[in-house]
Amino acid sequence: DANALWGGRFGSGPAAIMQQINASIGFDQKLWAQDIAGSKAHATMLAAQGIISDADRDAILAGLDQVAREIAEGRFTFTVENEDIHMNVESRLKEIIGEPAGRLHTARSRNDQVATDFKLWVRDAFDRLDTDIQALQAALIDRAEQFPDLIMPGFTHLQTAQPVTFGHHLLAYVEMLGRDRARMRDARKRLNECPLGSAALAGTPYPINREATAAALGFDRPTANSLDAVSDRDFALDYLAAASICGTHLSRLAEEIVIWCTSQFRFIRLTDAFTTGSSIMPQKRNPDAAELVRAKVGRVIGALNGLLIVMKGLPLAYSKDMQEDKEPVFMADETLALCLAATTGMIRDLTPDPAAMRRAVEAGFPTATDLADWLVRSLGVPFRDAHHITGRIVKLAEEAGTGLAEVPLEKMQAVHPGITDAVYGVLTLEASVNSRTSFGGTAPARVREAVAAAKQRFL
């Protein structure tokens, strides 16, 4: 049979395959609470404007509440015949309250309805994510507070560069996640304009009050252009872009966890709760959760690319292509929440191995820059020359198979006669990190301050 809600001019119903490709109820039922909230705001406004009677409004509101209860309690049967969440709700409303249900869609289209519902959903998703990201920041800050002076190698090109502290390294991720939260707050603010009342694309002749529905749904104001309002999916792209950047941060941390867990590095150990064994190699402890975070973030970035490609060719205003906006966002949201929770778990679970970190950092002449800086400060050598002199001393140490601090003074003086005993004071790892006191630097005193500041800024 033809569709009861839009089938007036249709002689027969859709082909089975038409119904299958057209129906979105399989995924957009996630929007049920937003759809009912939007309909209640719309009906309330219609009555306030004298467009429907108060009696019809009351019937509609009571009926929508019943639909909401049925869905919440799992007693609602979604059908593909009703295509999407909007028509599933409305046709059930009609079964419950009869004729007044037909007045709900006055001065409204599914085009402004779906844009409104989806914005409400994405807005909630931003709020949930903010809490999840903050929980990971809290875990990182806790662990940083525990290890403000634990020395490990800092890398560039994954080659030992200069000693840093483990607390400082963890706090780097707290900053990234802080920017992720700010990006999401910013996107949330930008999406908070209400499309409802834009109708199909051109607005409506009914004397509606768009400020009222916008306010009732917690939006800051109505959208300013009806064509834009029904064709805009920037908010979904903003969501996926912010989620992709956040995911990229999680993936980089996951990659570090994988590296740190190798027997070559052994910087950290994860407990049995966050590792798995191999079915053939009994010695293995694999950091699967980190590997899966690293991999799953690929889906989120894929979702962003997918929706960009859907949107890039669409003329104004609504096209059915836009129905493809929801699954990537729902999937990305689920994935990111899972990755955040797993990462928070790993950060709380890990135990660093200070001896392994020290062995690794000592192997790489990490205080070479400190030696060069000493030549500049104590002897007035230009930095470029100091760099060269230090390079020659590094070569001596390398040939002797020792660290810089073990190169005898006479050998150093053979490279530069002005070098004195005092140089050994800057060649230890502790001296190196303690000296990095510039704001944002790795000196333990600075890291302790940064922990306190991070608590203020983020928790």
Site string for ligand ARG, 310-329 (x = CB under 6 A): --------x-x-xx------
Q: Tell the smallest beta-carbon distance from residue 448 to ligand ARG (Å).
A: 52
User: To the nearest 10°, the Cα dihedral for 80, 83, 87, 93?
Assistant: 0
Q: Tell the smallest beta-carbon distance from residue 14 to ligand ARG (Å).
A: 13
Q: Tell the smallest beta-carbon distance from residue 177 to ligand ARG (Å).
A: 32
What is the CA angle 155-159-163, rounded to 5?
Answer: 40
Q: Given candidates 40, 57, 92, 110, which one binds ligand ARG under the rule CB under 6 A?
A: 110
Instruction: Determine contact, residues 33/59, Cβ cutoff 8 Å.
Output: no
Write the CA distances from 402 to 196, 205, 221, 265, 348, integer angstroms.
72, 85, 69, 20, 36
Whose Cβ is closer to ligand ARG: residue 329's or residue 375's? 329
Whose Cβ is closer to ligand ARG: residue 31's or residue 356's? 31
Distance CA 200, CA 212 (A): 19
Distance linking the first and last C-alpha atoms of the chain: 57
Question: Would residue 244 show up in a list of annotated catalytic residues for this protein?
Answer: no
Whose Cβ is closer to ligand ARG: residue 30's or residue 252's? 30
Per-residue DSSP letter, 182:
H
User: Which of the residues 169, 198, 278, 279 is marked catalytic?
Assistant: 278
- Which listed range, 43-51, 106-114, 152-160, 170-178, lies at the site for ligand ARG (CB under 6 A)? 106-114
**Side chain identity, residue 74:** G
Site string for ligand ARG, 112-141 (x = CB under 6 A): --x---------------------------
Angle between helices 85-97 and 32-48 (to 10 degrees): 60
Q: Tell the smallest beta-carbon distance from residue 236 to ligand ARG (Å).
A: 11
Question: Would residue 278 show up in a list of annotated catalytic residues for this protein?
Answer: yes
- Identify the three-state secondary structure at position 186: helix
Instruction: Determine contact, residues 151/162, Cβ cutoff 8 Å.
Output: no
232 binds ligand ARG, rule: CB under 6 A:
no
Residue position matching structure tokens 């390294």: 169
What is the CA angle 33-39-45, rounded to 5?
Answer: 140
Whose Cβ is closer to ligand ARG: residue 28's or residue 370's? 28
Q: How distant is the alpha carbon of residue 441 from its chain centre?
A: 26
- Which listed range, 108-116, 140-148, 259-267, 349-357, lies at the site for ligand ARG (CB under 6 A)? 108-116
- Please list, in sequence order, all residues whose beta carbon lies within 8 angstroms of the beta carbon of residue 113, skipping any fewer than 6 positions away: 35, 38, 39, 86, 196
User: Which of the residues 157, 263, 279, 438 is marked catalytic?
Assistant: 157
188 binds ligand ARG, rule: CB under 6 A:
no
- Please list, in sequence order, all residues whose beta carbon lies within 8 angstroms of the beta carbon of residue 428, skipping any fewer than 6 positions away: 367, 405
What is the CA angle 441-446-450, rounded to 5?
Answer: 100
Sort residue 319 into left (φ over 0), alpha (ψ -120 to 50) or beta. beta
Whose Cβ is closer to ligand ARG: residue 7's or residue 440's? 7
Whose Cβ is closer to ligand ARG: residue 251's or residue 323's? 323
Q: Tell the smallest beta-carbon distance from residue 77 to ligand ARG (Å).
A: 18
Whose Cβ is closer to ligand ARG: residue 84's or residue 362's? 84
Whose Cβ is closer to ligand ARG: residue 33's or residue 396's? 33
Instruction: Determine contact, residues 197/107, Cβ cutoff 8 Å.
Output: yes
111 binds ligand ARG, rule: CB under 6 A:
yes
84 binds ligand ARG, rule: CB under 6 A:
yes
Q: How many residues bind ligand ARG (CB under 6 A)?
A: 10
Distance CA 339, CA 342 (A): 5
Residue 339: both structure tokens together: 């990755």
28 binds ligand ARG, rule: CB under 6 A:
yes
Write the CA distances from 414 to 104, 200, 389, integer angstroms.
92, 84, 10
Q: Tell the smallest beta-carbon distance from residue 31 to ligand ARG (Å).
A: 9
Q: Tell the smallest beta-carbon distance from residue 320 to ligand ARG (Å).
A: 6
Q: Tell the smallest beta-carbon distance from residue 2 to ligand ARG (Å).
A: 15
Q: Given candidates 14, 24, 268, 446, which one binds ligand ARG under the rule CB under 6 A?
A: 24
32 binds ligand ARG, rule: CB under 6 A:
no
Catalytic positions, written as ranges: 157, 278
Q: Which residues bind ligand ARG (CB under 6 A)?
A: 24, 28, 84, 110-111, 114, 318, 320, 322-323
